[in-house]
Amino acid sequence: MRDMSPSLVLVAVVVVLVAVGVYLLLERTLTRVLLGVIVLGNGVNVLFLIAGGAAGGPPIVGRTEVEDMADPLPQAMVLTAIVITLGMTAFLLALAYRSWQLNEHDEVQDDLEDRRVARRAAQDRAAYEDADTESGAGPTALEEAAAETRDETDADDDGHTDERAHRGEAREDAATSAEGGER
């Protein structure tokens, strides 16, 4: 009978790969998210192979004894996971490239609707607190967080609007000058 206990080194490799992958997935740039998907996928693939047990003979009846056969399911799952990771990698690469083309960075911005909900909640909470106590204390943590969120439609840190607004202004200027020349 084969030894079915996994190697401690392989278990440590899985833990490190999954931890690094999750950490990278929680980042705000698409490039790091892409690396996180790849590293996490490799960690899960190693986990599948560990779960499959020790290596054995080919799973062909008549060629290998039943107790000496390798389990083909983990190998099939790893092949499927490789294909899925490849597809996710291609998709995230396309997203990162398109984000770079449009914004000259690949940072994922806050969702506008989430910011609106946070601002509304801060206003409702402030109104509730004002109705409860007329003390007029400073802003709450929720109000401060709502005020600090970055709005893609507002000017960036350098005072410039996003690239789409620049292109829209250029089109408006060109249309205005073309109309003025036709009159």
Q: Residue 183: is its pLDDT beyond 50? A: no
Euclidean distance between CA atoms 180 and 183, whole angstroms: 6
Supply the pLDDT for residue 88. Answer: 93
Q: Where is average pLDDT lowest: 12-16, 57-61, 170-174? A: 170-174
Supply the pLDDT for residue 58. Answer: 84
Q: Where is average pLDDT lowest: 41-45, 100-104, 145-149? A: 145-149
Euclidean distance between CA atoms 82 and 150, whole angstroms: 36
| Ordered domains of the chain (ranges, CATH) | 8-103 (1.10.287), 112-170 (no CATH)
- Name the 3-class secondary structure at 183: coil
Euclidean distance between CA atoms 8 and 79, whole angstroms: 24
Supply the pLDDT for residue 16. Answer: 97
pLDDT tens per residue across span 25-39: 998 888 999 999 999
Rounded to the nearest integer, the mean pLDDT of the chain is 78
CA 160, 162, 172, 101 torsion: positive or negative? positive
Summarize the confidence of residues 164-179 as an average pLDDT: 51
Euclidean distance between CA atoms 53 and 73, whole angstroms: 11
Cβ partners under 8 Å of residue 32, min gap 6? 24
Q: Residue 154: is its pLDDT beyond 90? A: no
Structure tokens at 170: 């250029």
Euclidean distance between CA atoms 64 and 90, whole angstroms: 40
Summarize the confidence of residues 52-79 as an average pLDDT: 85
Question: What's the distance, CA 50 to chain centroid?
Answer: 27
Residue 164 pLDDT grade (very low, low, confident, very high; cuts 50, 70, 90): very low
Q: What is this structure's pTM?
A: 0.58
Supply the pLDDT for residue 128. Answer: 76
Q: Residue 171: is its pLDDT beyond 70? A: no
